[in-house]
Amino acid sequence: MPRYRFHSVQHHATLVGGITKVAAAAAGQLKAEPTSGSIYTQFVHMVSQSPKMEFDVESIGSWLDLCALGGTSIDGLGNGLIFWSAQLAQGSSIAAAGNHRSLTMKSGILVPRSLTVSTQGNAALTYEALVTWDTTNDPYVIADSQNLPSVPLIAETYALGSLALGGVTLDKLASVTLDFGIELDVDPGAGIWPEGVSIKSTIPKLTVRGQDPEWLKSTNIPLAGLACTHANSILYLRRRSSTGFVADVTAQHVKFTFDGTVHVPEPFSASGADAGETNLELVCEHDGTNAPVTIATSTAIT
pLDDT by residue (tens digit) across 250-288? 999 999 999 999 999 999 888 888 888 999 999 999 999
Q: List all residues 6 or more positions away from 281 whose beta carbon is below 8 Å from its beta carbon.
A: 205, 206, 207, 208, 262, 263, 264, 265
Say if residues 301 and 245 touch (Cβ distance below 8 Å). Answer: no
Domain ranges in the chain? 4-29+45-299
Considering the entire predicted model, what is its pTM?
0.93
Q: How far apart are CA 161 and CA 244, in angstroms?
A: 13
Average pLDDT of the chain to the nearest whole number: 94
What pLDDT, in 10s, does the model give residues 163-183?
Answer: 999 999 999 999 999 999 999
Strand-pairing partners, residue 165, are 168
Cα–Cα nearest to 44, from 32, 29, 27: 32
What pLDDT, in 10s, does the model give residues 59-95?
Answer: 999 999 999 999 999 999 999 999 999 999 988 899 9
